[in-house]
Structure 1
Amino acid sequence: MKRISHFLCVLVVLLLGVSCKKYLDVAPDNTGTLEYAFRNRNEAENYLFTCYATLQQFADATTNAGFTTSSEIIYPNNLTKHPIDETGFNLLRGTQNSNNPGLNYWDGENSGKAIFRSIRRCNTMLENIDKPVDLSFGEKKRWIAEVKFLKAYYHFYLARLYGPIPLIKTNLDITASTDEIKVKRAPIDSTFNYIVQLLDEAAPDLPPVIDNQAQELGRITKTIALSVKAEVLMTAASPLFNGNPDFVSTKNKDGQPLFSATYDPAKWVRAAAACKEAIEVCEANGLKLYSFIPPASITVLPDSLRTVLTLQNAVTEKWDLNSELIWALNPTFGWQGYATPRLTQKGVVNIFSNPSTFAVPLSTQELFYSDKGVPINEDKTFDYAGRYSIKTGDEASRFYIAKNYSTVKEHFNREPRFYASLGFDGGIWYGNGKLNLTDMYHVEARGIESFAGPKDINTLNITGYWPKKLAHYQSVYDDGFQTIQYHLPLIRLAGLYLLYAEALNEVNGPSAEAYTYIDKVRTRAGLPGVVAAWTDYSKNPGKVGTKDGLRQIIHQERRLELVFEGQAGWDLRRWKELQSVLSLPMQGWNVYESDAANYYQPHTIFTAIFGLRNYLWPIKDNSLIVNGNLVQNPYW
């Protein structure tokens, strides 16, 4: 029988809004309600779960700015039917505004994005935790630590979007004056310091890992808290918030600067120490890079496909079996059918479960390395100029590309993460019910109307690439229907390794230790070490030995290792690189063409609209009117 934890069940009830305990949704200043909510341990535990509730809503990838605005995946905006919330994807098309901001987490009371309300609930929990007389001392300490973590993370989520935010350290009293209610924004350094303070207070009283996974998987641990602390300090140290000249004129109405005008290298030192501590605690508690172990149903598996499945399953493996998964959210990833191509005519029957509309642009495809472990435009052995010519699948590439199938030349001789992450015309799609090496599916994307009907824009992948990494290899959308559920990672050990390498490089430049942590990730991905790869194959072999060069390498390494996991959108923002990335048009192939020569012509789908102001979200105009002490973000 499939085990579903008590914790998850309570969260589902809360998220669906079917609880009979209506008091959980009323304002915390209702004294009678609060006395009931904390009258005993069981009622207090229910209130603890309300503090977790907003966190679980972050699992919706379509409302995650790190997922929708990264340029890794684009979504058609001309559908006659709209099965998903397209707001986040459309932000790249210039729809963001201050009158009605898209993905409004500042005051989204009616959209499930009310983060400040969630912070208020956390404060209420902390202020009333002493009331249940039957709550043990040990549980009380743990619950306090969990709520402090949640409070910190909610502040962090807002800070990544808006920069300086009001710090809601305690709930206001019911007798608070109008002036007290009109809180102002705290400077960005104060914001990050407060978040770290809460995480430092929480970590010692959290369990290192969850022992009783059947009952408690999804609750916060020490490894999670320390890993989030590393991410917070890396964000604080990065160019967006560390002496960013674009924001220096932003001040509160009393003249208080909200951003520091001075770059502080000590922030990187602090971030490096936090990354190292998180790694040491994770490894001490048994976390390690994931490696695929074939089930009994797979009797023969070549090394190439084993590596592909290792890289895929590092994301899609069950939480309790994934040795490198530090943190995920309880709701499972609900978009596998959007990431899966229609492999045969039978797949058309599953039009609602397999819409196939998450499209990967050419810019993301061409980001992946060659099989030599360097960018394809730097690899002196890769025919970059001739990459759009046509080549036929052969014996040597048969586990990546269908034999005798004509596809574009740049699909050959790429790194294993390319084949683990992308579905493409001619590409092998191992799984989907077929595990026999002599009878594997491959994608046929040309002339897509043959499967979907003439130019059926409700089922069209508009680029010809799918984010294969987001689909479990055992999920079936063709002959029958079976979805293998998984939890999209928020933090994996591989990502933490690359954060540490990034921080080390910013502190001291290239070093043996930085190379070591990069190579841990590259070795698992089937690539040579970073120094050897650049020395032997790059047109710019000295790049790996300079601070600026290694920074570029690490940034690309993170984008490749964590592609489609909702990380790149946040990374590109904190690096101040998203504007440059989005300066390239969003392109795909001519997907309606059946002939290879006509299909493989880059086709511009749209040009993204992104300026300096888009690095931070606008605060809704009406919120500035209601609270006269708030100031708008720069350039809005």
Structure 2
Amino acid sequence: MKSIKSYIIILAACLPLLSSCSDFLDKEPDTELDMENVFNDKTHVEQWLANVYSAIPDCYDGYLFDLGWMILGDDATIPERYRQFGNQIIPMILGEWTPASDWNGNYWALLPQRIREANIFREKAHALTDQDISEREMTYMKTECRFMQAYYYYLLANTYGPIPFKPDYVWPVNASLSDMMETQTPYEDVIKWCSDEMLACSKILPARYSESQKYGRITSLMCLAIRARMLLFDASPLVNGNSDYANFVNANGEHLFSTQYDANKWRVAADACKDLIDKAEASGHKLYIEYADDSKTTIDPFLSYENAFLKSEDAGNTEILFARPSVNYQNYERNATPNGSGGNGGFGVTQSLVDAFFMENGLPITDPDSKYEEKGFSGADEHRSGTKFETENGNCITKQGTYNMYCHREPRFYVTVNFSGAYFPSEDRQYNFFNGGADNNHTHDAPQNGYLMRKRVNPKDNIKQGSYNYRPGIIYRLAEAYLSYAEALNECDPGNQEILTYLNKIRERAGVRQYTTGATDNNYIHVNLADQDAMRKLIHAERRVELCAEGTRYDDLRRWKEAETTLSGDFYGMNFDGKDASNFYQRKPYITRVYRKAYYWFPIHQTEIDKNPKLVQNPYWDQLSK
């Protein structure tokens, strides 16, 4: 019997990942264990599997800080002065990013360790029928590890592009990718392998588990969801025939990105999205909807959208397709709560996101028929019927005297954005973001551009009292599948009626007018379905609003090759220095961002380049100083 040292880094105390977090993660193993003993004991087997899961991203605190996906995009913002506390994302968005910059996400070192553990599990683990791990259960466990290997390789490729790639290679303990001492494998080859693995795993795993303690375990739908997201990226301009990378080759002279556009990739992505949708709906998944009346004929768009993120599956939220059962939403909420109310008060939304939301009539604010007004203040309270959304004095969406920019906007706007004058439920008052007001102490713990994040913040929580309500960390939901399918279909089959079908499912739930190829009226807006470019803009606009602040926006801007223009220049908000309405309500830059062509991919850290001479640095990073 071979004995080896294996330092098993179990994160049970701070990163419970599997259902109710009880059986799998609340146990500490010995740090040195005989390998045979590990896989002959149910507790240790479950702990090992839990650790394989432990690198699934925290889509609340992780996306906000350590990974930074929300701040790297243009939906969310944190104060520039957070850098004094060691925040690594702020220098990145300011253009102070080099191959020597550190990043807390550190996928290059972390994910190979989890892939290694998945490999070992698949090789060593076996059924323990006398300890209630049946042959079928072990098949599921090994398939979960198989998927997790593909998922982590996808995360690596999504972050770094081409990577050293040997799926059967078992790294030493604490290894990073450079320990393979290999050059990078072409991006397409990695994605093809991941896609095949995810599809194969989906044919083995169940669509759902009946046992509540298995919530969070990988299902066939999770496999299909990540595959659909990955293939949509693979079809997009950044990696599908991007001429910017024509001369980017590995140490063997192989092109690392596709140099020829492949239109069929959009069809492959569309088919993957439709396969996911069909199987998800067949398993009982649907958009989360709450109704305004007992007859269930009128959708409450405010609560439907709000609770799509706050309700768990056992509370009826079957929109969730992939969730991380435990996430740090407490820190997320503290940063979105004013300093004087027990929070840190610096996590806000950007002005460009405020501008992206449609008006109550479903039109963008740039449309002359939208009735958008920016200047001045409302002359009366604005009420909306058909909602139980928590507002002041019952259904009062905006009070008299609210800045017109925020009046008569669509329901998702009010669920997402806390603006000065918005209702603050836990304190039964309106927010005041004026300089010196209740919610702006004019420090780094205040909204730097006049807004705080509301989306995914539970209005029933009381941060001052440390009272939080549970919610899952949603990695993927059905709405994303609908929007991705519409986008891919518009690229491979423009004019297909299903584009409107799935776009309208999102808009119906959101409480805004749907699109039609017929006449515009009180229920519909006319569009030219055959105009591929116009439909592309509509789909991108809907995606920006529906999926905002969920971590997808940065990848969207990357894959569309829009990051260089969208993420560079002045970012605006209301005037942080303004002490009254006359000078607060002014568009004013609060930060100037820099996005270079190199930034589409994270750099391989210089220490890894120095360690492995076969690695080549990602495109354009060599032009930046070390």
Q: Same fold by TM (over 0.5)?
A: yes
Name the CA shift for 1:191/1:468 in 2 (closer, same or farther; >3 Å).
same
Structure-2 separation of matches of 1:173 and 1:590: 52
Query: Secondary structure of 2:349's partner?
Result: coil
Structure 2 unaligned spans of 5+:
1-15, 385-393, 622-626
Provide the residue aligned with 1:577 in structure 2. 562
Structure-1 separation of matches of 2:460 and 2:30: 39
Structure 1 residue identity aligned to 2:429: Y
Structure-2 separation of matches of 1:417 and 1:618: 36
Q: Is the 8 A contact 1:234 1:271 kept in 2?
A: yes
Provide the residue aligned with 1:389 in structure 2. 376
Structure-1 separation of matches of 2:518 and 2:579: 38
Pick one of 111, 117, 123 that aligns with 2:113.
Answer: 117
Pick one of 51, 67, 92 that aligns with 1:64.
Answer: 67
Provide the residue aligned with 2:597 in structure 1. 612
Matches within 5 A, 1:72-151: 72-79=75-82, 82=85, 86-108=87-109, 114-130=110-126, 135-151=133-149
Matches within 5 A, 1:243-392: 243-292=241-290, 306-321=300-315, 322-332=317-327, 333-338=329-334, 340-342=336-338, 348=340, 350-351=341-342, 354-383=343-372, 386-392=373-379
Query: Secondary structure of 1:489's partner?
Result: strand
Structure 2 residue identity aligned to 1:9: S
User: Deviation string for 1:292-340 (max 9, x for gaps)?
Assistant: 368xxx99x9989x42121111112134221201111122323343454
Name the CA shift for 1:502/1:423 in 2 (closer, same or farther; >3 Å).
same
Structure 1 unaligned spans of 5+:
24-31, 109-113, 434-439
Matches within 5 A, 1:456-535: 457-477=443-463, 480-531=465-516, 535=520
Query: Secondary structure of 1:391's partner?
Result: coil
Structure 2 residue identity aligned to 1:317: K
Provide the residue aligned with 1:230 in structure 2. 228
Name the CA shift for 1:461/1:488 in 2 (closer, same or farther; >3 Å).
same
Name the CA shift for 1:532/1:464 in 2 (closer, same or farther; >3 Å).
farther
User: Please, which moves more after superposition, 420-429 or 546-555?
Assistant: 420-429
Provide the residue aligned with 2:577 in structure 1. 592
Q: Is the 8 A contact 1:199 1:226 kept in 2?
A: yes
Structure 2 residue identity aligned to 1:407: T
Matches within 5 A, 1:532-571: 535=520, 544-571=529-556
Name the CA shift for 1:522/1:458 in 2 (closer, same or farther; >3 Å).
same
Structure-2 separation of matches of 1:197 and 1:482: 44
Provide the residue aligned with 1:28 in structure 2. none
Structure 2 residue identity aligned to 1:320: D
Deviation at 1:45, TM superposition (A): 2.6
Structure-1 separation of matches of 2:413 and 2:233: 28
Q: Is the 8 A contact 2:335 2:345 kept in 1?
A: yes
Structure-1 separation of matches of 2:518 and 2:549: 25
Deviation at 1:246, TM superposition (A): 1.2
User: Deviation string for 1:392-423 (max 9, x for gaps)?
Assistant: 4425468354433x232121121111111111
Matches within 5 A, 1:138-217: 138-172=136-170, 181-213=180-212, 215-217=213-215
1:624 matched to 2:603? The reply is: no
Query: Secondary structure of 2:158's partner?
Result: helix
Structure 2 residue identity aligned to 1:142: Y
Name the CA shift for 1:63/1:388 in 2 (closer, same or farther; >3 Å).
farther
Name the CA shift for 1:400/1:554 in 2 (closer, same or farther; >3 Å).
farther
Pick one of 401, 405, 409 that aligns with 1:410.
Answer: 405
Provide the residue aligned with 1:427 in structure 2. 422
Query: Secondary structure of 1:423's partner?
Result: strand
Query: Secondary structure of 1:54's partner?
Result: coil
Structure-2 separation of matches of 1:139 and 1:395: 56
Structure-1 separation of matches of 2:500 and 2:42: 50
Structure-2 separation of matches of 1:160 and 1:432: 39
Name the CA shift for 1:453/1:291 in 2 (closer, same or farther; >3 Å).
closer
Structure-2 separation of matches of 1:76 and 1:566: 18
Q: Is the 8 A contact 1:242 1:263 kept in 2?
A: yes
Query: Secondary structure of 1:246's partner?
Result: helix
Deviation at 1:502, TM superposition (A): 0.8
Structure 2 residue identity aligned to 1:146: E
Count of matched residue pairs:
585
Q: Is the 8 A contact 1:530 1:544 kept in 2?
A: no
Name the CA shift for 1:238/1:9 in 2 (closer, same or farther; >3 Å).
same
Structure-2 separation of matches of 1:568 and 1:269: 22
Deviation at 1:341, TM superposition (A): 4.4
Name the CA shift for 1:236/1:142 in 2 (closer, same or farther; >3 Å).
same
Query: Secondary structure of 1:490's partner?
Result: strand
Structure-2 separation of matches of 1:287 and 1:246: 41
Provide the residue aligned with 1:436 in structure 2. none
Query: Secondary structure of 2:374's partner?
Result: coil
Structure-2 separation of matches of 1:223 and 1:418: 30
Identity of aligned residues (%): 27
1:446 matched to 2:446? The reply is: no
Query: Secondary structure of 1:462's partner?
Result: coil
Name the CA shift for 1:33/1:171 in 2 (closer, same or farther; >3 Å).
farther
Name the CA shift for 1:89/1:317 in 2 (closer, same or farther; >3 Å).
farther
Deviation at 1:207, TM superposition (A): 1.6
Query: Secondary structure of 2:260's partner?
Result: coil
Name the CA shift for 1:251/1:536 in 2 (closer, same or farther; >3 Å).
farther
Name the CA shift for 1:365/1:97 in 2 (closer, same or farther; >3 Å).
same
Structure-1 separation of matches of 2:381 and 2:450: 21
1:8 matched to 2:25? The reply is: no
Deviation at 1:146, TM superposition (A): 0.3
User: Deviation string for 1:579-634 (max 9, x for gaps)?
Assistant: 22213521111133232121111111111110111110000111111111111100
Deviation at 1:364, TM superposition (A): 1.0
